[in-house]
Amino acid sequence: MSIMLRTRQLIRRDLARLSNRRCASSNGDDETRYIEEWQATCIRPNSFYELHASSRTYFYSVDLQGRLFLEETSPKNIATSLKSDKFLDFFFSQLRPNKTGKFEEYPFFSPCGKESNYIRPACLPIVFHDLTPSNSLVYAGTLLQKFHPSNLRTSSLSGRIFHRLFPSSPSKKSRMQKSGESYGLIKSSIAGKIAENIFFKDDGGMYYVDDEGEWEVGLLPDDQESVSWGLPSSSI
């Protein structure tokens, strides 16, 4: 089976899941339960967190909706997530790949003064959770990324949809952008709206089409896939 054919099937599967969620809650409940079970396997003994908290070292997780949690938090839901826009904007503006040589099972790092914050996301740490009327994707609390179809990518492993991170000007690169080409996951409810404009052609390619033109939707680079740390994608 070709990569593009499999990706096409995965995207159609995800779109069908989104449609089914509108009709019945059981599918969404099953997926939520699976994600919660995976998150629970990542939690370490309390002694681990207490030991490292004494040196102001903390561990976080980011779910597929972009919600940030202390890793030891259970259960993980909207009530227990960290919600301060000011904190989220600073935390994610400091985000970068973990090159500290410590806690390598946490692929991302966000320093905050003397604090060291390590992050293991379910997919990628940046998740676009809204799309504004002015066509900007929202992540963290209020941070914006201008949407453009040429920056869309899909995963050949999960069928999820992503958007490339790029600065508004060369002098305004984020820590993630300075580390190389990077992407953010588009939350499923927003991805469903975007996917209404994605079509498959006879050549097997995927294209985003609107009144302004047509853009091919390429594959997410292999180094952006979360297979080594994230939520197993083949099971949901």
CA 148 – CA 11 distance, rounded (Å):
19
H/E stretch holding 119 reads strand 115-119
Give the tokens for residue 71: 């890793």
Q: What is the pTM of this model?
A: 0.86
- Asked if 180 and 187 count as a contact pair (C-beta separation under 8 A), the reply is no
Strand pairing of 143-146 and 152-154? unpaired
CA 223 – CA 153 distance, rounded (Å):
13
184-233 residue pLDDT tens: 999 999 999 999 999 998 887 899 999 999 999 999 999 999 999 998 86
Give the model's confidence band at 21: pLDDT under 50 very low, under 70 low, under 90 confident, else very high.
very low
Domain count, the chain: 1
Mean pLDDT of 104-131: 97
Domain span at residue 230 reads: 3-235
